[in-house]
Amino acid sequence: MRIAFLMAPEGVEQIELTEPWQAVTDAGGEPVLVSTEPGEIQAFDHLDRGETFPVDQVVGEVTAESFDGLVLPGGVANPDVLRLDGTAVSFVRSFFELGRPVAAICHAPWTLIEADVLAGRVLTSWPSLRTDISNAGGTWVDEQVRVCVEGPNTLITSRKPDDLKAFCETFLTEFKKSAG
pLDDT of residue 151: 82
Active-site entry in 46, 106, 148, 168: 106
Residue range 2-179, CATH number: 3.40.50.880
pLDDT tens digit sequence for 24-33:
999 999 999 9
pLDDT value at residue 152: 86
Q: Give the pLDDT of residue 179.
A: 77
pLDDT score at 180: 64
Strands (E) in the chain, as ranges, are 2-7, 10-13, 30-35, 40-45, 48-54, 57-58, 69-72, 102-105, 122-123, 139-140, 145-150, 153-158
Q: In the annotation, is 107 catalytic?
A: yes
Would you list the domain boundaries of the chain? 2-179
Which regions of the chain are under pLDDT 50? none
pTM: 0.97
Residue of 46, 107, 148, 168 with catalytic role? 107
pLDDT in tens, 123-148: 999 999 999 999 999 999 999 999 99
